[in-house]
Amino acid sequence: MSAPAPGSTASLLGRRERMLLAGLAALLAVALFWLRGGLQPAAPLEKLARQSLDLPVALSDGRPTLVEFYADWCEACRAMAPAMEALERRHQGQLDVVLLNVDNPRWQPQIDTYGVNGIPHLEFFDSHGERLGQAIGARGAADLETLGAALVSGAPLPALAGTAPTSALAQAPTIPEPPIAPRSHG
């Protein structure tokens, strides 16, 4: 079998098909690039997680600390991330924001220590590394700013829904046993 002569119809169809395939491949590459975020910088959640301090460093550097337990797949965590990033920017050098991924086994001791059983879960620490409270569930920008401002100023945490101070459990009072009487059936 001989090759088609240059300029013949068979040779033109081969070139057209190759050009069409190359165009489709380029279009597919552009579509994939666009769907994966294009040239946008990393999403706020990933950016915060990458740049956050190690928890022991944050708790000992003399600044208050806000810790968020999160997961990459958590939609509420992702939705809250831009407000967390803005909070960190606004209080840079005054407040440490630390993100701990609950899917990373490295953080299991902290997950156990702070009783994390839902995300997002926030823990608040003063400038001496003392635990002040916690908040469970997604927070809006206004709530995060209020909480961050209280931490930076050393004020008590605001009473927001889902936010609670932590305290040591006091010894439960003992209830005296009732005296045994003839009609007590005791």
Enumerate the active-site residues: 74, 77
Helices (H) and strands (E) in the chain, counts: 6, 5
Chain centroid to CA 77: 5
Tokens standing for residue 168: 């040591």
Burial class (CB in 10 A: 0-12, 13-18, 19+), 137: middle
Give the C-alpha distances (Å, rounded to integers) separating 182 from 176, 178, 179.
18, 12, 10
How far, in Å, CA of 131 to CA of 173, rounded? 25
Tokens standing for residue 87: 């909070």
